Structure 1
Amino acid sequence: MISNKIGFAMGVLKNGLVDFLSENRVNPNLITFTGLTINFFAAASLAYGHNWLAGILMIFAGAFDILDGAVARKSGRVSSFGAFFDSVIDRYSDLILYIGLITYYARIGAFGTVILTSVASMGSILVSYTRARAENVIESCKVGFWERPERIVLLIIAALSNRLDRALWILAIFANITVIHRMVYTWIQTTGEYEESTSDRKLLTTFFKIAFKDFKRETWQYDLYCIAVLLVMFGDKLISYIF
């Protein structure tokens, strides 16, 4: 699978960096905070329309976000506070990027896109919130495609290709669909409606299970979903190139 090969290559690089940082006793919380700092400059770049620079900075910030937890585990510094701190900083990192975009679109008078960006940011934050809240009442709620890595990668691709408006439409629609997915999943898990409900409700819950079918990373279904997203982003360029 494409995602499997990419994951393997990234894993080799990641392991080398984790070993280096662990051997030098770098504090994982410092790595987390460094990622936030880089995202601050990425947001400032977005606010002034320097999208390519913002994309590069987001790549570096994402690298720090990947490394912090791995370094904590490798160096034996895993803690409850560290996990909490990482989660809070992730939310700040997400929001600061959207604030940068909102600032840019407000500066150029694109108020419709300001609203679109606000809806996208709302969905992005609620994807994380619904999982955190659901896992207070059920064992796990990792369903849905648009988790944080997918959202950040899409924003990076969009910034580097100067197609942020399309990415915002995708996030505004599908991040919020992921929120609904997690709400429905939690409803089914907590109420047992699927097993005990009437035929009408069984039909409804069956529909949700099919409509919100979840595919794990590094599967062909996941790769197909990624290709579909890229076609939405760049389909017009592909068509013009072919014809």
Structure 2
Amino acid sequence: MKNARGAEEHAGVIGIVLFNVLPDIEDHVVFYRAVTGGILIQLASVLDGCDGEVARLKKMESSFGNFFDAVLDRYTDFFILLGMFFYSLTSREIAQLFGSFALPVIFLISGLAMVGYVMVSYTSAKSVADFRYRYKGRWTAAGRGRDIRLFMLFVGGVMASVHPVSIPVSIFGVAVFSNAIVLKRVLLSWKCSSGKDVPINRSINTVVFDLDGTLADTMTFLTNLAAQLLIDNYGLSVEEARNKYLETTGLDFATQMSMIFPNHPKNERVISAFEKKKRETVMELPLFSDVIPTLQFFKKREIRLFVCSSTPQEIIDEYLKLQKIDWYVDGHYGLKPDFQKSRQIDFILRRYRLRHDEQTNFPFLKKL
């Protein structure tokens, strides 16, 4: 119910703008009062930014309110462009200036502007649906360009006091600007889908990697080793042994065993055998083929990199140095007494004064 009231409040403010401002815009623009129409366009832009702030200050913001706001914005934009289109179409000064080309020119630039408006919204939605990514950046981010487009139309309306041709010129500016944003987004999405580039949220400044199965191709070996020990010592089937180990991966092996077989007398011997074999073999196991390009990608963008692992610290130190990737990372932390992976991450957050939403692990790199 609270969200519903929030949506009504949010929509109410937008409604005031839509039904009180837009008729004036249409009346003034269509009936040659372009300067007043331009001022009202800018006023509509300002009020559109205020309603969201009002909803947030009153703690009445809702998902439906945001959605409904965007829907009404599209209707507003359409009617503003429609009014300016009819103004350009019926202006004698513009007709005299362009001559026989007036009609096709006005239809062309107005059509491109309207299509650009639609495609800007469409590409925003499709990027989330297909790439699970919201465009970032000064010009390409969703919602960033609308104020600029309305400002162009405002300037066009005001400058009509000098000559009405400023109206189609401003529409042309909106057409170029909108379609340029769409083109840039298409290129960005193509690079993303082809693997040539990956869009990164600019708010991300720190990435934390696991070692086993993320950077190092060790999970096949470790899974087979653990499964064989569970089969030999606890009488499990192959499937049971593998499932029990994989269900608790991410923890150190001692903790895994205490969860799988609490207080079992064989646990200490099994843990010792596992760690011994792991130390003997892990240095021979390679990195995944895409690890170094990935680290270079982040490093080039000045994103801090860390490794946290349930593997003992001395193994981490030696392995990263052996693979020559220790210099890529700002810190690497392994298992020590009372310093499990969760404590390692907490240590990074405190030391570098990060918030939890600024620290990100990339599970898509994990390969089992």
The two structures share one fold, judged by TM-score above 0.5: yes
> Is 1:174–2:167 an aligned residue pair?
no
Helix, strand or coil for the counterpart of 1:189? Answer: helix
| Structure with the bigger percentage of strand | 2
Equivalent pair of 1:35/1:64 in contact (CA under 8 Å): yes
Aligned to 1:192: 195
SS in structure 2 at match of 1:135: helix
Distance in 1, Cα, partners of 2:136 & 2:146? 11
Which residue number in structure 2 is paired with residue 33 of structure 1? 15
Kindly tell me: are residues 27 and 170 of structure 1, through their superposed partners in 2, closer, same or farther at Cα, counting changes over 3 Å? same
Alignment counterpart, residue 45 of structure 2, candidates 45, 62, 74: 62
Report how far residue 191 of structure 1 moved: 3.5
Deviation at 1:149, TM superposition (A): 0.8
Partner Cα separation in structure 2 for residue 191 and residue 91 of structure 1:
32
Q: Which residue of 1 aligns with 2:75?
A: 92
User: Is the 1:32–1:89 contact (alpha carbons within 8 Å) kept by the matching residues of 2?
Assistant: yes
Which structure has the greater CA radius of gyration?
2
More relative contact order, 1 or 2 (CA 8 Å, 6+ apart): 1
**Mapped pair 1:157 → 2:139:** no
Decide which moves more: 93-102 or 137-146.
137-146
One-letter identity of the residue aligned with 2:120: V
CA distance in 2, matches of 1:161, 1:106: 17
Distance 2:180 2:31 in 1: 30
Verify: 1:115 aligned to 2:113, yes or no: no
**1:139 corresponds to:** 133
Q: Give me the CA root mean square deviation.
A: 2.1
Give the secondary-structure state (helix, strand or coil) at the position aligned to 1:193: coil
Amino acid paired to 1:72 = A
SS of 1:27's equivalent in the other structure is: helix
Matches within 5 A, 1:191-210: 191-194=194-197
- TM-score, scaled relative to structure 1: 0.64
Which blocks of at least 5 consecutive residues in structure 1 are unaligned?
Answer: 1-25, 196-243
Q: Is the 8 A contact 1:127 1:175 kept in 2?
A: yes
- Could you tell me how far 1:115 is from its partner in structure 2? 2.3
Deviation, 1:151, is 0.2
> Within 2, Cα distance between the matches of 1:191 and 1:33?
43
Instruction: Report which stretch shifted further, 62-71 or 165-174.
Output: 165-174
CA contact (8 A) 2:110 2:175 kept: yes
Q: Shift of residue 86 of structure 1?
A: 0.3
Counterpart code for 1:92: Y
Task: Give 1:125 deviation, angstroms.
Answer: 2.3
The answer on whether the counterparts of 1:31 and 1:68 sit within 8 Å (CA) in structure 2 is: yes
| Deviation by residue 1:28-58 (Cα, 9 ceiling, x = unmatched) | 2111112222123213322222111101211
Q: 2 CA distance for matches of 1:57 and 1:123?
A: 22
Matched, 1:127 2:120: yes
8 A contact 2:10–2:69 mirrored in 1: no
1:68-95 per-residue CA deviation (whole Å, 9 max, x = no partner) reads: 1111111111111101100000000100
Determine if contact 1:40/1:96 at 8 Å carries over to the other structure: no
AA paired with 2:74? R
How far the C-alpha of 1:156 sits from its partner, in A, is 0.7
The residue identity in structure 1 corresponding to 2:148 is: E
- Deviation of residue 175 (structure 1)? 1.5
Amino acid of the residue matched to residue 135 of structure 2?
C
SS in 1 for 2:134: coil
CA contact (8 A) 2:113 2:175 kept: yes
Query: Are 2:66 and 1:83 equivalent residues in the alignment?
Result: yes
* Paired AA for residue 120 in structure 1: A
For 2:190 and 2:55, how far apart are their aligned partners in 1? 34
Residue type of the alignment partner of 1:58: I
Q: Could you tell me how far apart the structure 1 residues matched to 2:178 and 2:67 are?
A: 23
1:202-221: CA deviation from partner (whole Å, max 9, x where unpaired): xxxxxxxxxxxxxxxxxxxx
Q: Could you list the per-position Cα deviations for residues 134-184 of structure 1 after superposition, in whole angstroms to 9, with x for gaps in the alignment?
A: 122232114436710110111111111112222222222232111111111
> How many angstroms apart in 2 are the aligned matches of 1:105 and 1:158?
11
Q: Secondary structure in 2 aligned to 1:41?
A: helix
